Amino acid sequence: MNLTDQALAKACCADLYQSDVARLVFGDSLHPGGLALTNRLARLMEVQAGDWVLDLASGRGVSAMAVSRVFHCNVVGVEFGAASVAESLAKSTESPSAPTSFFIRGDAECPPIRPGRFDSAFCECSMSLFMDKAGAVGEITRLLRPGGRFGLSDVTLAPGALPTELDGTVGQLLCLSDALDVQGYLSLLEGAGLEVVVQEDSSAGILKIMDQVEGKLGALNAWMSLYPQADQNSDVLDTVPRVIATLRAIVESGDLGYWTFVAQKPL
């Protein structure tokens, strides 16, 4: 893929996550485990008050703002989607105190930031979307100070386990299309010279998201039975339960999961 095609693909991906459908399915925190898992990741990264922390592919900015608030640190979010960055900036400046989370529009695979400045960095449910994963982890390593930690949480998928029905926009929205297996992420981190210090199975978050989506669909079905003229959404209502049933089967087989890793740059 040439550079123009890559930029277009990243813009399409960002549009998908800025969409109302993504907000409806996931809410504002666009990863399994929500802010509870974000806070756990930051604890495992040993974030300290006053630290400078990078959030790569920061989405709607809720993780960056939560980490800066809970850990009293400064967080810089980098995100490709212009609307997501605008929303993040608006929310971060709403607070009466000086903002400690900052957002820039850019490519998280090669952030426009000077090297060696950050105490830690994290990337939630987004590495699976990056086209050049090895290049991105190399860049993250370059941005960290010696001893700095990188926290990664992402979808894991066994090679060949993606059903053909999910090999399209739905697979991309769910971060499945280009996800690695656990060994793939470990090799990626170690290949950049990082030492993996934590690896945890966080797959319970995926099942919880599916439960939540089913709950929302139940409410939507009930609403539509009261207002039958709104049945233009019936295709979605038919498709989503089938997708969820397929996903549950892959999670239960152990081929699909969500894992958390923390890796340290050598001193």
Ligand X SMILES: C[S@@+](CC[C@H](N)C(=O)[O-])C[C@H]1O[C@@H](n2cnc3c(N)ncnc32)[C@H](O)[C@@H]1O
Positions in the binding site for ligand X (CB under 6 A): 10, 13-14, 17, 29-31, 57-59, 63, 78-81, 84, 107-109, 124-126, 129-130, 175
Nearest distance from residue 79's CB to ligand X, in Å?
5
Least distance from ligand X to the Cβ atom of residue 228, Å = 34
Handedness of CA 22, 28, 33, 37 (dihedral sign): positive
Provide the minimum distance between the beta carbon of 19 and ligand X in the complex, in angstroms, as a whole number: 11
Q: What minimum distance in Å lies between the beta carbon of 87 and ligand X? A: 11
Q: Which residue is nearest to ligand X (CB)?
A: 59
Quick one: which of 36, 25, 13 has its CA closest to 209?
25
Q: Which two tokens stand for residue 151?
A: 């926290």
Q: H or E element: which one contains 120?
A: strand 118-124
Give the end-to-end CA distance of the chain in Å, rounded to a whole number: 37
**C-beta of 90: minimal distance to ligand X in Å?**
16
CB of residue 15 vs ligand X: minimum separation in angstroms?
8
Cβ neighbors of 18 (< 8 A, separation 6 or more) are 81, 83, 84
Q: How far apart are CA 62 and CA 205, in angstroms?
A: 17
Least Å distance between CB 42 and ligand X? Answer: 13
Secondary structure of 141-203 in HEC code, one letter for each residue: HHHEEEEEEEEEEEEEECCCCCCHHHCCHHHHHCCCCCCECHHHHHHHHHHCCCEEEEEEECC
CA 207 to chain CA mean position, Å: 16
**Strand pairing of 101-105 and 74-79?**
parallel
Beta bridge partners of 156: 180, 257
